[in-house]
Structure 1
């Protein structure tokens, strides 16, 4: 676990980020999505690192192996997005997902946010268990604020107090 570093996104990380995210979306889960379909990842500083948001990467041996982001959506609420961990570093042995989520929680608390919301697909069963173990509760889509950046593929939604 000690050879994994969690740090904020810096320009130049984009290729590594797509290298983690796209294979998981396309190959593991069969979601027909491309880099062009995700313009938020082409402008991470403006989209995520503005207001009280943020974007973090997990790095192992100089390669990005995980991502997580927080989008400030106003009213002391933020959306957790783009949480992906490469298959070779998943699980408790590495703790990448937990460490990424911890970095996000610390930032959210320090920034004075009150609520974190997220959307995911029905296919991401391990993600559902992970979020539930980390204090998120499933909510109906109708409970989402209007400002929540809902993705077309999202069918399950969660909320957690900071």
Structure 2
């Protein structure tokens, strides 16, 4: 089941963090860099981020999360992650489909991921996203940006 998460609630923000950290640790290993901003998040930074969060629950346990902002007809996916115990169950796709179906007021979706995160790159391409460009963040870290017209 997918439902909105009130990220300003400290208990819910902690639940998100408890899924986010293990998930992004997997990405950090894939891209060989722990300089991923979500690994540095705290309950406070999540509560202040201004993103809209939606969670996928299995038996009332938060298993995956997507967060977005919509501005100027563009939906920006800030986070999309699944707890490693629930990888390969289609949760990321269900969350992506949910926001595309249930949110209004946008014509384009944008998202970025680590350029060495091949599973995420394949996921976005498989779901209709086109690679826009790559941005070098540091000597060892680059991001790949994608968009999708709706």
Q: TM-score range by the shorter chain?
A: 0.7 to 0.9
User: Deviation of residue 160 (structure 1)?
Assistant: 0.3
- For residue 128 of structure 1, give the secondary structure of its aligned residue in structure 2: helix
- The number of aligned residues is 137
Structure 2: distance between partners of 1:66 and 1:154? 24
Query: Where in structure 2 are the equivalents of 1:48-67 lying within 5 Å?
Result: 48=51, 54-67=52-65
Change (3 A) 1:36 1:154: farther
Task: Report the Cα distance in structure 1 between the residues aligned to 2:128 and 2:78, rounded to whole angstroms.
Answer: 16
User: Is it true that 1:127 corresponds to 2:120 in the alignment?
Assistant: yes
Q: Note if 1:9 corresponds to 2:2.
A: no
User: Would you identify which runs of 4 or more consecutive aligned residues in structure 1 move more than 4 Å?
Assistant: 151-154
Q: Measured at CA, do residues 156 and 84 of structure 1 come closer, stay the same or move farther in structure 2, by a change above 3 Å?
A: same
CA shift for structure 1 position 24: 2.2
Mark the runs of 5 or more structure 1 residues left unpaired by the alignment.
49-53, 143-150
Flag the 1:118–1:154 CA change in 2: closer, same or farther, 3 A: farther
Q: What is the TM-score normalised by the length of structure 2?
A: 0.79
Indicate the structure with greater strand content: 2
RMSD, matched Cα = 2.5
